[in-house]
Amino acid sequence: MQTTYLELSEDNGVSHKFYEVTVNDCEMRIRYGRIGQQGQSSTKTFPTPEKALAEATKKLNEKRKKGYAEAVKGERAARPVNRRVIVSNQSSAKNAPVLWQFKSGSRAYGIFVDEQGCWIGNEDGNVYQLSQEAQVKQQFRFNNGVKAIVSDGRWLYVGCDDGKVYDLMAKVPRVAYDIEKEVDIYWIDICDGILGISDSEGSVFINDYEGEEISTYQSSGDSGWMIRCDEQFAYHGHSKGVTAYHNSFRSTLNSMLAAKPLTGTAVWHCKTVGEVLFGWQEKELLYVSTAAKKIHAITKQGQLIATYPCDAAVFSCATSKNGEYIFAGDNYSSIYCFHQNGERLWKLATGCGSAYSMQYLNERLYIVTTDGVMACIDASSAALAQAKEGAFPQARSIKAPPAVALVNAHFLEEAHDTQQGVVLHCVKEGSKLRVRVLSAGYHADWNVQFPQNLRVEGAKYLVDAVQESGSGSFYRILGEIKKLNIS
């Protein structure tokens, strides 16, 4: 048996990968992935040992041409991972009217809530979708902890500590983005397929719908716990305030045409009182929570127009629609509500830890906490008035079900006809594999946002549907992906 182990780890941190080939008689096994992780593997059998060795040599030489070199396994460390830790203290306020608590089992950072249900993702990599009444509708388990759950129109994504961002909108989560750069990721956001990333060093990275980096920026501060994106800008919250950078498709298109990352200057910068610990956005305003016990409302032109004082460092915030009410969570397990005119309407205790993140919907405030709990709080005026008088609903406590098997993002069901759905095919363009629509009635020259790990040159796929991106330049997949196999 002969094993060759190569690594590619560049000084600028762009790549941090390994490639291992083992030849055992007529069998060749390839294993590859990020340094410090198990990675992925495939095995192929050849008619003779000589042919297996020849193919292995060919594969290794291809990697050496790309900069890979022999290395000692285990000498380089895995990518850095920084998980947010709040020293959570007990609140002295009266308890909030909690309707239910879902106990996920470990600290929870990811949250998303809409009319279809509530999503929670925790440090153990478990993701649950609940009904509005906390019934488990579906669950997934990822190999690494969840950093964030973010929506982008009809799409929902979960970002994990290993730098992968998964699309959650099908039966099997797919790798929508695989962040090659070895950065200590703090937060992510996605708008019209464009991914924004903030890190521990105060850097901002913008990746296109193919997952390829197209813009980089460096803010004046560090610890970028806020990144929010819209069609024009990426809004970056860090230790020195909030900085806006171009995030328009025109900027990214120019960068792609130039065939190099776009590194530029800020559109504007707004200094905050204290370092930024979280950020929320509405159509016209940004809401920024800080270590200095403040929430700031900032226009998307960079003007600070309102401040809402809390009693401790604020680690999360959210608003009702259009910012009529502003909510906040501090590190003393308290939650607050302000009217947009500045009046503090209430402060109550969660009873289940400090809120890492939160979201408001239909007079309910949903939080995920340091205790690993997703809690649903009745934020109606009547319920809050009763809570202040000491009358509370009987909170239901739900324990998470046993964990399911790890997500296999490489698995593809087969389709054997094209009666229903849209046919795609994978083609090679230069050194890149691209996916295009083969069915009639679509732009044949537009790329399709498609998982890199599922691309095989010449392969055909069947998807439920595709939709034009907001920029009108590429397609996005709706529903399931199947490998098309027509004999």
At 129, which amino acid appears? Q
Which long-range CB contacts under 8 A does 392-395 form with residues at least 24 apart?
Answer: 392/95, 392/97, 392/98, 393/97, 393/98, 393/99, 395/98, 395/99, 395/100, 395/101, 395/351
H-only helix segments in 240-380: 249-258
The model carries a pTM of 0.82
Which has the minimum average pLDDT: 11-20, 318-327, 459-468?
11-20
Domains for the chain: give ranges and CATH numbers: 2-70 (2.20.140.10), 98-178+272-399 (2.120.10.30), 413-484 (no CATH)
Q: What pLDDT is attached to residue 436?
A: 98
Segment 174-198 mean pLDDT: 90
User: Predicted confidence band at 229 (pLDDT cuts at 50, 70, 90)?
Assistant: very high
User: Predicted confidence band at 263 (pLDDT cuts at 50, 70, 90)?
Assistant: very low
pLDDT at 99 over 90: yes
Question: Considering the chain, what percentage of its residues have pLDDT values greater than 90?
Answer: 71
Q: What pLDDT is attached to residue 344?
A: 95
How do residues 363-417 score in pLDDT, each as one tens digit? 999 999 999 999 999 999 898 888 878 777 888 999 999 999 999 999 999 999 8
pLDDT at 249 over 60: no
Segment 5-22 mean pLDDT: 74
User: Predicted confidence band at 87 (pLDDT cuts at 50, 70, 90)?
Assistant: confident
How do residues 117-164 score in pLDDT, each as one tens digit? 999 999 999 999 999 999 999 999 998 899 999 999 999 999 999 889
Q: Give the DSSP letter string of 107-168.
A: -EEEEEEETTEEEEEETTSEEEEE-TT--EEEEEE-SS-EEEEEEETTEEEEEETTSEEEE-
Which has the minimum average pLDDT: 263-272, 295-304, 346-355?
263-272
Q: What pLDDT is attached to residue 27?
A: 93
| Residue 469 contacts residue 253 (beta carbons within 8 Å) | no
Task: Output the average pLDDT for the chain.
Answer: 90
| Encoded tokens for 302 | 């960079």
Q: What pLDDT is attached to residue 75?
A: 65
Q: What pLDDT is attached to residue 322?
A: 85
pLDDT at 431 over 70: yes
Q: What pLDDT is attached to residue 184?
A: 84
User: What letter would DSSP give residue 407?
Assistant: P
| Residue 156 contacts residue 190 (beta carbons within 8 Å) | no
Q: What pLDDT is attached to residue 83?
A: 76
pLDDT at 54 over 70: yes
How many Cα neighbours within 13 Å face the side chain of 486? Answer: 9
User: Predicted confidence band at 69 (pLDDT cuts at 50, 70, 90)?
Assistant: confident
Q: What pLDDT is attached to residue 179?
A: 85
Which has the minimum average pLDDT: 52-61, 335-344, 461-470?
52-61
pLDDT at 260 over 80: no
